[in-house]
Homo-oligomer: A and B are copies of this chain.
Amino acid sequence: MNYIKVFAPATVANVSCGFDIFGFAIEEPGDIVEIRRRDEPGIVIKDIFGDDGRLPRKAEKNAVTGVMLHLLKHLGITDFGCEVTLHKNMPLGSGMGSSAASAVAGVVAINELLDCPLSRADLLPFAMEGERIASGSAHADNVGPALLGGFVIIRSYAPLDVFSIPVPGDLFCTLVHPDIEINTKDARYILRDEVSLKNTISQMGNVAGLVAGLMMEDYDLIGRSMVDVIIEPVRSILIPDFNLVKQAALDHGALGCSISGSGPSMFALSRGVENAKKVGEVMKATFANAGIEATSHVSLINKGGPVVLDKN
């Protein structure tokens, strides 16, 4: 095989009460990585589309190629050479798992081109390395669902324990991206290091309720459990008119609504595609009232994860 083209999906991390432990993949948008072998050893970046020139072009500093180099080193492969093209189909720093989609597409692509020395699940620590290169922190709540698909629980980081759970068939995500930017490091920085025991217990109850609601296909319980008393009250101040946008979603039938990742994107979950579309419209309209342009995507939970689009 000399050439491969892989898609990996956008993801919603944190998911209301599930800070750092929940994430899910959606069907679109997503990033695409193409790799073509070349005779000389070493990885070079041929092109990056859709990043307005903002991503590093040096292989070891870019998350996608950095992850590939990391995997090659782990496998003891020194003579491999390729050129890489990255198609960014979502904005950087959007809270839609942009760097995770790129890193996952990259590591899945090179693994396939090498005839799959590792299973998809075993690629997770390498994809996490991409998050470390991009944001300074090797979290798994975007790369986990981007790689595995579905609704993912990160039970533990040390040792790494990540798995997906079933979700109801009629559960749709509305992902709305307002045209403002939040730096992930800033969004982490404003969080408090300590949480009251009372709020910890509330959050645990909602975490338990959300897992049970998803697995029992109890849409009401899913909605009642989408309450975040720890992170959302702090981070939402970075998103203009957050409370109005959230209330508009809830008023129009969303089960719940919160920040996607560290923002500024917001997501809502709804029962049925029509409801999810309507929720997207009212969220965009509410942002528009504040003079902020926004785009929206409506999607089922993506159960498959990355897709090989082409190879030869």
Across the interface, name the chain B residue whose C-beta is closest to A194.
B194
Across the interface, name the chain B residue whose C-beta is closest to A209.
B155
Q: A202-B156, A224-B155 are in contact. Are A208 and B209 (CB under 8 A)?
A: no
Q: Is the interface of A mostly helix, strand, loop or mixed?
A: mixed
Which residues on B sit within 8 Å (CB–CB) of A201? 19-21
Stretch at the interface among A70-78, A102-110, A211-219, A299-307: A211-219
Partner of A211, one of B154, B191, B192, B211: B211
Per-residue contact bits, chain A 267-285, to B (CB 8 Å; 1 contact, 0 not): 0000000000000000000
Per-residue contact bits, chain A 201-242, to B (CB 8 Å; 1 contact, 0 not): 111111111011001100001001100001000000000000
Partner of A215, one of B191, B203, B206, B215: B215
| A69 CB within 8 Å of chain B | no
C-alpha gap A136/B261 in the complex (Å): 41
Interface size class of A (residues with CB under 8 A): 35 or more
C-alpha gap A4/B209 in the complex (Å): 36
Q: Count identical subunits in the complex.
A: 2
Which residues on B sit within 8 Å (CB–CB) of A203? 200, 204
C-alpha gap A208/B155 in the complex (Å): 7
C-alpha gap A204/B18 in the complex (Å): 7
Across the interface, name the chain B residue whose C-beta is closest to A156.
B205
| A115 CB within 8 Å of chain B | no
| A197 CB within 8 Å of chain B | yes
| A163 CB within 8 Å of chain B | yes
Which residues on B sit within 8 Å (CB–CB) of A209? 153, 155-156, 161
Which residues on B sit within 8 Å (CB–CB) of A204? 17-21, 203-204, 207
Find the residue from A17, A161, A205, A221 having the highest chain B CB count within 10 A. A205
6 A-B pairs in the complex with CB atoms less than 8 angstroms apart:
A156-B206, A195-B196, A195-B197, A204-B207, A207-B207, A215-B215
- Known pairs A165-B212, A204-B204, A211-B215; list 8 more (Cβ under 8 Å): A18-B204, A153-B209, A154-B205, A155-B224, A156-B205, A161-B209, A193-B197, A197-B230
